[in-house]
Structure 1
Amino acid sequence: MSGLFRMMTLKKNSQLICLILFLLSLAITLTINARWLYVMDINQLGILDYVTLSKSELMKNYDQLMTYLNFFWVNPLQMVDFPVSESGALHFYEVKRLFQINYLVMLITLIPSVFLLKNKIKEKTLWQLVRPFTIVLSGLVVLLFFMATAFDTFFVKFHEVFFNNDAWIFDPVTDPIITVLPQDYFMHCFILFFSLFVLFIVSFIIIGRIQLKRITKMDEH
């Protein structure tokens, strides 16, 4: 009996982890493909002041970079107006690999997440997500506070966690692409990602609490 209970608990926790990973990877996917954000930042951050390119020419290079990062069969990285050093190519290759891992995680967790949500909606047990999602939200708040108060440190730590070299530290002379990818743009990307992920998590918490209140009222009557 205890073995069966452990198996059920393990299955329940696995499904919950799948859902969280799906929402995480979905938020990442929406962020890294937010072309509109870069278009907006071209004007907001005055990116064109650092190059002799028009906005359309710059966007052509941006699209070439994103095509390389998004599709595993696109090799090597080639941009019309920006040469890439060996070190720069290594870093973009590692970023490309992270992109592919994210897409793989999203695809793998999609079906289990759909089944979990389908069952919880049918059984009216979405309220069970409130507690674990509240814990996730607490962790996100801590990260957001760290990012808001010390983004430079957060940015460095992020790279130290996901990359085991310093290839991400670009030299504008050998990799001029860094001049049109300012740190403030990446800060906006992180803000967008956290906003989306928090929105997903909070939505489930609110829906769960509303459902729990309805169930409680029904039991009272």
Structure 2
Amino acid sequence: MNQKTWLFRLGVISLVLTIVTVSITVTINAYPLYVWELKQSGISETYQLSIQNILTNYKVLMNYLNNPWIKQLHLPDFSSSKEGLQHFKEVKQLFFLNYFLLIVTIYPTYRFIRGLMSESQMWRLIRPFQYLSLFPFLGFFGMIVGFDQIFVGFHKLLFRNDYWLFNPYTDPIIEVLPASYFLHCFLLAIICIELLFLITLWLSKKSLTKETE
């Protein structure tokens, strides 16, 4: 296998990582999705909290997860156990791992795409992204039919403890983070990934059409 083949494969990997991390970034910061979830689920009525109060706590949580300078999480209307705080600390680490991968891959991806375009080689992405575009469909179907099992497996894979199994008495914040919200987050991420895969595939095919004209 020659050097050009290896560089192409590394470029594809970088492109895929950029697409995945961009999609995750969009999803975890999709504030309108959580607002919609609150209105659809009726959580504020069930737990006798106003939507505004819940959103205030949600913003505090997201500021903590997204801001490296905030070292302690203190939710104004919810108590937190030691285990719950530790779990959010681990989630924060995953957030920044995602951001790190996005930062370190976005420029190599730009150079890769720019190089392919300058050499009229975008068509080489057609076959890889034809295959790659199948995976989000499978993921979407899997989430619909077996979300609970996937959700549990996801947490067992990413976390070395069971602190993610929140007790609503000691960590009542979990009451306003329903399973349906996480399902919709997963689905949104999958849709974003698939959309970007298809855009890449479309651009690749379009470049091939231009070359044959």
Alpha-carbon distance in 1 for matches of 2:137, 2:45: 35
The correspondence for 1:123, drawn from 109, 113, 119, is 119
The sequence identity of aligned pairs, in percent, is 37
What is the letter of the counterpart of residue 192 of structure 2? L
- 1:50 Cα deviation after fit: 3.2
1:74 paired residue number: 70
CA contact (8 A) 1:50 1:180 kept: no
2:207 paired residue number: 211
Query: For this pair of structures, how many residues does the alignment match?
Result: 213
What is the letter of the counterpart of residue 196 of structure 2? F
2:131 paired residue number: 135
1:7 paired residue number: 3
2:82 paired residue number: 86
Supply the RMSD in Å over aligned alpha carbons.
1.3
1:144 paired residue number: 140
Alpha-carbon distance in 1 for matches of 2:60, 2:187: 24
Per-residue Cα deviation, 1:29-61 (whole angstroms, up to 9, x for no partner): 000000010011110111212323221111110
Question: What's the TM-score once normalised by structure 1's chain length?
Answer: 0.92
Larger Rg: 1
1:153 aligns with 2:128: no
The correspondence for 2:165, drawn from 153, 164, 169, is 169
CA contact (8 A) 1:88 1:175 kept: yes
Q: Runs of 4 or more off by more than 6 Å in structure 1?
A: none
1:193 aligns with 2:189: yes
CA contact (8 A) 2:136 2:191 kept: no
Q: What's the secondary structure of 2:2's corresponding residue?
A: helix
Alpha-carbon distance in 1 for matches of 2:46, 2:91: 24
Q: What's the secondary structure of 1:150's corresponding residue?
A: helix
The correspondence for 1:21, drawn from 17, 22, 28, is 17
Q: Is there any run of 5+ residues in structure 1 with no aligned partner, and where?
A: none
Alpha-carbon distance in 1 for matches of 2:149, 2:45: 27
The correspondence for 2:105, drawn from 100, 104, 109, is 109
Alpha-carbon distance in 2 for matches of 1:77, 1:16: 38
CA contact (8 A) 1:50 1:179 kept: no
- 1:119 Cα deviation after fit: 1.9
Q: Is there any run of 5+ residues in structure 2 with no aligned partner, and where?
A: none
The correspondence for 1:32, drawn from 28, 45, 49, is 28
What is the letter of the counterpart of residue 47 of structure 2? V
CA contact (8 A) 2:139 2:190 kept: no
